[in-house]
Amino acid sequence: MKKILFVTSEAHPLIKTGGLADVSGSLPKSLLELGQDIRIIMPNYQALNRPENIQFRCTLRVNNTDVNILETRLPGSAVIVWLVDCPELFDHPGNPYHDEYGNAWPDIAERFALFCRIAVEIAMNRGYLNWKPDIVHCNDWQSGLVPALLALEYSRPATVFTIHNMAYQGLFPSATYSYLNLPGQLWNPDGIEFHGMLSFLKGGLVYSDRITTVSPTYAEEIQTADFGYGLEGLLSHRNDFLCGITNGIDTDQWDPAIDSLIAEPYSIKDLHKKVLNKTALQTTLSLPVDKKIPVFGLISRLVEQKGIDLVLDCLPEMMKLPLQFVLLGSGNKSYEQRLYNFADLYPEKISINIGYDEALSHQIEAGADIFLMPSRFEPCGLNQIYSQRYGTIPIVRKTGGLADTVDDTLPDTLRSKTATGFVFNDATPGALMEAIKRALIIYSLPKSWRELQVNGMERDYSWKKSAQQYLSLYHHL
């Protein structure tokens, strides 16, 4: 049995802005089920969905700041969660990265530097918790200083750093480095300095014993200039210590047969009931109720990564076809405005829902026929996996985890019963539109469509396999 400290900035259902929370809320549960002693550490944000059973554990002092460690459990599981409680930094309205108006926190470097320092204290068992991990598993730049600071300690635990997204690096001016009072040994181009800037991400990439990312294809892609953001050389250099492990999904939360957030549960056996979720969705969103019309769904952060511009460019042509389009997301204000403009023009065909809505995200997965995910890059992506489980056929661009989890519909994949979606190559509206038209042709052939649905629904995307891969990685350390 390994003792694992899992360091993350978000974990569902405590707090979530994206897929990192889904992973942090489900991988530790699977590792616990595999008999490991795993504990999560994360900040005690004001916006936390606060569980009832929170207990004070101890007070720690780092960099002249006193911080309390509170203990609770990940709701719905026995996984212990340690909350880093520092009200000056974390007790403010907003999400982990933005204030309530959507502006990045001006003191975000200070917030996560303190968080990392506390994680190091606990990793070194200086936290009066009487528990020393064998492995410290860090996630994304917010925890990047942990492997760097631990590298300066004697008799330290082994470190794993998982890249969920290279696009976010925690880059700050060099003055921030001095302001944060970080140890001088780390400030050099082979350390956490990146072209004269402080890079939290480099802390993870340079100093961790193993680097993982969330799909094998993305592990290759980030070693190229197109996806590496200038860190491709470092990643190629560390290639022997880098691997891709595809994310699993939490099948307690994402299973159409037991999903309490959807109108009508269904499974392969009673797949005809899926349409009741479509009519319920149309009713909820005030679209004309029509069982036959193909409904396209999209749930996403509205950022460049997700190829929202490609969808916007396709919408005029899509609107000439008999279909409905339902979107849930938030982010870039100009995308939001352009989407609203289309909804004003085509209220009978488009429903744009700006905001974050857990229940609606499940209802779209259950009610839509086709799911759009034309990402420019996608480290793993979860919605294309949820879609397959819900019999909602994904249209994805061939990149990262999308390439690894969706099989294109072609004569031979239809024959071998491996087709689960529609895959296109170029990040152009023309290529996306072609995939949409291919999907509509198969949609008009109910027998083939059902085959695609069943192929996807039968796939095992639970965490079991991937958690085993993490476990064998831990054992190699």
- Contacts with ligand GLC by CB under 6 A lie at 18-20, 23, 164-165, 214, 247, 378-382, 401
Yes or no: say if 370 and 392 are a contact pair by the CB < 8 Å rule: yes
Lay out the site mask for ligand ADP across 265-304 (x = CB under 6 A, - = otherwise): ----------------------------------xxx---
CB-based burial label for 134 (10 Å; 0-12, 13-18, 19+): middle
Closest distance to ligand GLC from the beta carbon of 417 (Å)? 26
| Binding window for ligand ADP (CB under 6 A); candidates: 19-27, 149-157, 265-273, 431-439 | 19-27
Distance CA 451, CA 189 (A): 53
User: Of ligand GLC, ligand ADP, none, which one does residue 351 interact with (CB within 5 to 8 Å by kind)?
Assistant: none
CA gap 117, 115 in Å, rounded: 6
- Closest contact distance (angstroms) between CB of 123 and ligand ADP is 26
- Torsion on CA atoms 50, 51, 52, 53, rounded to nearest 10: -120
CA distances 151 to 6, 124, 156, 207, 471, Å, are 17, 12, 8, 6, 22
How far is it, in rounded angstroms, from Cα 47 to Cα 100? Answer: 10
Q: Which does 214 bind (CB under 5 to 8 A by kind): ligand ADP, ligand GLC, none?
A: ligand GLC
Reference 388, options 363, 406, 361; nearest CA is 406
Q: With binding defined as CB under 6 A, does residue 18 bind ligand ADP?
A: yes
Please choose, from the candidates 419, 431, 416, the residue with its C-alpha nearest in 3D space to the C-alpha of residue 394: 419
Q: How far is the CB of 60 from ligand ADP (least distance, A)?
A: 30
Site string for ligand ADP, 343-372 (x = CB under 6 A): -------------xxx--x-----------
Residue 128 structure tokens: 């009066």
Beta-sheet pairing, 242-244 with 210-213: parallel
71 in contact with ligand ADP (CB under 6 A)? no
Partner whose binding site includes residue 328, from ligand GLC, ligand ADP, none (CB under 5 to 8 Å by kind): ligand ADP
Q: Which of residues 383-412 bind ligand ADP (CB under 6 A)?
A: 383
Q: Which amino acid is at 51?
A: P
Residue 356 partner contact from ligand GLC, ligand ADP, none using kind-dependent CB cut-offs of 5 to 8 Å: ligand ADP
Residue with tokens 């829902």: 353
Q: Is 133 exposed, middle or buried (0-12, 13-18, 19+ CB in 10 A)?
A: buried
165 vs 324, which CB is nearer to ligand GLC?
A: 165
Residue 26 or 324: the one with the smaller Cβ distance to ligand GLC is: 26
Which of ligand GLC, ligand ADP, none does 229 bind, CB closer than 5 to 8 A by kind? none
Residue 477 to residue 459: CA distance in whole angstroms: 31
Q: Which of residues 303-342 bind ligand ADP (CB under 6 A)?
A: 328-330
The span of 276-284, 311-319, 336-344, 374-382 binding ligand ADP (CB under 6 A) equals 374-382
Interface with ligand ADP (CB under 6 A): 18-20, 22, 299-301, 328-330, 356-358, 361, 380-383
